[in-house]
Chains A and B, each alone.
Chain A
Amino acid sequence: MYDEADYIMLSALQHYLYCPRQCALIHLEQVWVENRYTAEGRVLHERSDSREVGRQRGIRAIRTLPLASARLGLSGQADVVEFHDDGSVFPVEYKRGRPKKNRCDEVQLCAQALCLEEMLALSIPSGALYYGEKRRRQPVIFNAELRKLTESTIARVHALLQGGTTPPADYCRKCDQCSLFSACLPKSCTTGRSVRKYLAAMLRGTDEKDAEHPLCNNAGSVPQ
């Protein structure tokens, strides 16, 4: 059981699976930079407080429902949770864009289901992801494997945020699309980038690449 003060946000799971450094920048360092994609996502999710949005064909849908799990130390909200007349509960998460290569959306949805299971004391076998670009619902089955992946991700996020250390950057192609690019500086803060090398090169008026200079390894001897 977690203390409420140590709860992590549901969204942190998705950030972590995209990039652990992104997760640390947002949740540890409180960095947030809005770009087109985040603004679109915000507008998509910007609705009034939790309320019933409709009842049709034996389904009552509740929007922006607050969720939490003391066992997992998790809180956040679900986009839409459907309460069916047969007693079953079905979470639906809305996503701008299209299905992603990794399983972050499924993990986020599964985490919502785990919260709902704890709060409502029932079992939730499946939910759905709705992708704006495809305009289609994609069913997600909460099987043992996805539950295990979700719980282990939650544990890793707790460890990261409790440790307080931001992981080093590792520049790759997805960095170019990341809204935090300008705060993360993945090209400059990447492992192996050396300020000593930069300084030595700047002072000698050469480029860093050919900075084979005593200063790079050792501040001791400097040819004048």
Chain B
Amino acid sequence: MRKMLNTLYVTTQGAYLNKEGETVVVNVERETRLRLPIHTLSSIVCFGQVSCSPFLLGHCAEHDVSISFMTGYGKFMARVTGPAAGNVLLRREQYRRADDLAASARLARLFVLGKVANCRTVMSRALRDHGPKIDAEGIERTVGKFGTLAQRLLREEGLDDIRGLEGRAANDYFGLFDHLIVAQKEDFVFAGRNRRPPLDRVNCLLSFLYSLLYHDVRSALESVGLDPAVGFLHRDRPGRMSLALDLMEEFRPVLADRLALSLVNLGQVKKNGFRISESGAVIMDDESRKTLLVEYQKRKQVEIEHPFLKEKIPIGMLPFAQAQLLSRHLRGDLDEYPPFIWR
């Protein structure tokens, strides 16, 4: 599997980046502050008044390192990428399948199946870890139901039916989610999923984690040459990365939900790390956000054996591995897309 690489974030105003041999050099006021070998980077993100030499841009393009320019406030402005990623045959096949409802359904049910199976694992693990402290009976019943549901998805052929099953599973799962919180229960109450804006601390954690995941999945899809905007379960909507949303489904429980639970259950985030605004929207403070980012990065470095590839890979490489398997399926190498199933 490809190595997991770093992202360089440059926030120092007036910084100038240039290339020296195979390294990226960060200069501030004509003084070298940092040198990094290019092959350790996957991307560079520049905030505000940060500039790069054209030679560095070319070198990064050649090495598949993307460079993004954001305003000082983090609003996206532009991106420089090389010609490498992309294969028109693959994208055409992606579009053909997306245009064909039956073919879309065959893929959609596998994304949902991955999600349902992984939600089931989140619940079984909670049962194993905190059995006596939680509503074991209710959770056990749902675990059983999800097992049956996963089997049923393998036979389901209509997109609407698949979406229906997905909706019901999400309701059941989030209906129980509050029971999986075993510490700081008064401060972290979960009464259903809400997003725009998040109205409680748990939803605030989930939303932020989902947005990190969305970005990771989107770039994984781009790096194998798939179009993140054209999905199967999620249909086209301008401005939405539908395929990224599709592929995210199987990772939500593993990479986001479980991390949110452990942040709360292990006391890594606290009640006063959140601010409730006048509109009722809950906002994380910088300290909590930092804790969350550090834990997210740590979790990405944990190695697991990929159940289909039978290879040890860091959790952070899962989106890339799955994007790659999806492209291999679309190119005809695999009879179906194998979702990542966590046990």
A interface residues (Cβ-Cβ under 8 A, vs B): 28-33, 164-166, 168-169, 182-183, 185, 187-189, 193-196, 198-199, 202-203, 205, 215, 219-220, 222, 224
Contacts and interface: CB of A to CB of B under 8 A. Distances in A.
A111 B110 CA distance: 47
Contacts of A29: 87, 89-90, 225, 331
Interface in B303-329: 307-310, 324-325, 328-329
A7 to B, nearest CB: 18
B335 A196 contact: yes
A185 B328 contact: yes
A193 B155 CA distance: 20
Contacts of A196: 335-336
Contacts of A182: 1-2
Nearest to B336: A195
B301 interface: no
Interface string B108-128: 001001000100000000000
B341 interface: yes
B13 interface: no
A181 to B, nearest CB: 9
A28 B117 contact: no
A224 B151 contact: yes
Given A193-B334, A195-B334, A202-B307, 12 more contacts: A28-B87, A29-B225, A33-B2, A164-B89, A169-B333, A182-B2, A185-B309, A188-B328, A189-B333, A196-B336, A202-B343, A224-B151
Contacts of B341: 199, 202-203
Given A30-B87, A166-B331, A199 B338 contact: yes
Interface string B155-176: 1000000000000000000000
A219 B117 contact: no
Contacts of B148: 224
Interface residues of B, number: 37
B337 interface: yes
Given A185-B309, A188-B325, A189-B334, A203 B150 contact: yes
Nearest to A193: B334
A198 B84 CA distance: 32
Contacts of A203: 117, 147, 150-151, 154, 341
19 contacts: A28-B87, A30-B84, A166-B331, A185-B324, A185-B325, A187-B310, A188-B309, A188-B325, A195-B329, A195-B336, A195-B338, A198-B307, A198-B308, A199-B113, A199-B154, A215-B154, A219-B154, A222-B151, A222-B155
Q: Which of B2, B154, B310 has the largest count of A CB atoms less than 10 A from its CB?
A: B154
Contacts of B89: 28-29, 164
A188 B334 contact: yes
A189 B338 CA distance: 11
Contact of A32 (B84, B150, B325, B336): B84
A215 B338 CA distance: 14
B332 interface: yes
A50 B51 CA distance: 34
10 closest pairs, A vs B, by CB? A195-B336, A189-B333, A202-B341, A195-B338, A29-B87, A30-B87, A222-B151, A189-B328, A195-B335, A203-B150
Contacts of B154: 199, 203, 215, 219, 222
A188 B308 contact: yes
A214 to B, nearest CB: 11
Given A165-B332, A188-B308, A195-B335, A30 B2 contact: no
Q: Which of A32, A164, A189 has the largest count of B CB atoms less than 10 A from its CB?
A: A189
A216 B274 CA distance: 50
